[in-house]
C-alpha cells in the first residue's frame, strides 16, 4: 500500500477532471441499441483488491462473461477518493473482457460527489464510456423534490435521482457522457425484485466475494 500518496493533489486532480466530465454531460449522446452493460465491484483481503467486471446482456440480464484482476490496494479507504483505491482494478478488469460494454455501472456515485468526480465519473472518463453510478448511500448534494420525484442537486445541476427499491433508497447519478434521464432508465431496467442493486453490480459483487473466499480457503489449507 502506497505511503506516498498525495491526497491534496488527488483532490486537485479531481476538480480538474470534473470539468471534462461536466462538459460531457452538456450534450450527451442518446444511447440506442444497448447490448452490453458492464458492472464492477471489488472485495479485499490481505492488502489486496480483487476487482471484477461482469458483462451483462442488457435485454435479458444474462451474464455473458466476467473478468478478474487482483492488485495491491494502492491507498486506504478515504471518503471522496474511492476511485484512486478501486478504479485501477476496475479499469484493468473491463479491458480484459472479450466484448466491449456499451455502458459502465458502478456501486458508487458519479457527479453527486464533493468535487464532481465520483468513481462512476472517473471510470467513464478514463475509458471514455458512458457510465452510471448507483449508490446505496448519499455522499454529497442537497435533496430536492421536483414534480413529486426526489433528486439530488449538486454543483448547480440535478446530479442524481433518488429511487426506492426493495424499500430502500438508491441514488442513481450521471457518471460520464450520459443524461440523468437515460441513466435512470437503464438502472431501472436492470433492477430485479430479489436484489438490492442492479444486476450488473450485484453479480460483480457476488463474484468478487466468492473469489475472495475461495482464495482465503486455499491460503488456510
Give the number of domains in the chain.
Answer: 1
User: What is the pLDDT confidence band of residue 217, given thresholds at 50, 70 and 90?
Assistant: confident
State yes or no: pLDDT of 213 exceeds 60.
Answer: yes
State yes or no: pLDDT of 221 exceeds 90.
Answer: no
Which residues, at least 6 apart from 189, have a Cβ–Cβ distance to it below 8 Å? 58
* pTM across the whole model: 0.96
The answer to whether residue 1 sits within a structural domain is no
Q: What's the domain range around 148?
A: 7-220
Segments in 53-130 forming alpha helices (H):
82-96, 119-127
The answer to whether residue 77 sits within a structural domain is yes
Please name the residue that has the C-alpha cell 454543483. Answer: 155
DSSP conformational letter for 59? T
User: What is the pLDDT confidence band of residue 1, given thresholds at 50, 70 and 90?
Assistant: low
The answer to whether residue 139 sits within a structural domain is yes
Taking all residues of the chain, what is their mean pLDDT, rounded to a whole number? 96
Question: How far, in Å, CA of 181 to CA of 184, rounded?
Answer: 5
The answer to whether residue 2 sits within a structural domain is no
Closest to 129 (Cα-Cα) out of 36, 198, 62: 36
> Residue 115's domain is classified under what CATH number?
3.30.2170.10
| Predicted pLDDT of residue 178 | 98
Cell of 114: 464533493
Closest to 152 (Cα-Cα) out of 109, 107, 105, 112: 112
Amino acid at each position: 500500500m502506497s505511503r506516498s500518496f498525495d491526497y491534496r493533489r488527488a483532490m486537485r486532480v479531481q476538480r480538474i477532471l470534473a470539468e471534462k466530465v461536466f462538459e460531457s454531460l452538456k450534450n450527451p449522446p442518446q444511447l440506442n441499441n444497448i447490448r452490453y452493460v458492464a458492472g464492477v465491484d471489488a472485495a479485499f483481503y490481505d492488502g489486496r483488491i480483487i476487482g471484477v467486471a461482469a458483462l451483462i446482456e442488457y435485454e435479458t440480464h444474462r451474464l455473458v462473461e466476467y473478468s478478474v484482476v487482483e492488485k495491491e490496494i494502492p491507498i486506504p479507504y478515504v471518503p471522496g477518493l474511492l476511485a484512486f483505491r478501486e478504479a485501477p482494478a476496475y479499469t484493468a478488469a473491463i479491458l480484459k473482457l472479450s466484448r466491449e460494454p456499451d455502458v459502465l455501472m458502478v456501486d458508487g456515485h458519479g457527479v453527486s460527489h464533493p468535487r464532481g468526480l465520483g468513481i462512476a465519473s472517473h471510470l467513464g472518463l478514463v475509458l471514455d464510456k458512458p457510465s452510471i453510478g448507483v449508490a446505496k448511500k448519499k455522499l454529497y448534494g442537497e435533496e430536492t423534490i421536483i414534480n413529486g420525484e426526489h433528486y439530488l442537486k449538486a454543483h448547480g445541476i440535478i446530479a442524481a435521482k433518488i429511487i426506492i427499491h426493495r424499500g430502500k433508497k438508491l441514488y442513481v447519478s450521471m457518471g460520464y457522457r450520459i443524461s440523468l434521464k437515460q441513466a435512470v432508465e437503464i438502472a431501472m431496467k436492470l433492477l430485479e425484485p430479489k436484489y438490492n442493486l442492479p444486476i450488473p453490480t450485484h453479480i460483480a459483487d457476488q463474484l468478487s466475494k466468492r473469489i475472495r473466499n475461495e482464495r482465503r480457503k486455499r491460503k488456510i489449507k
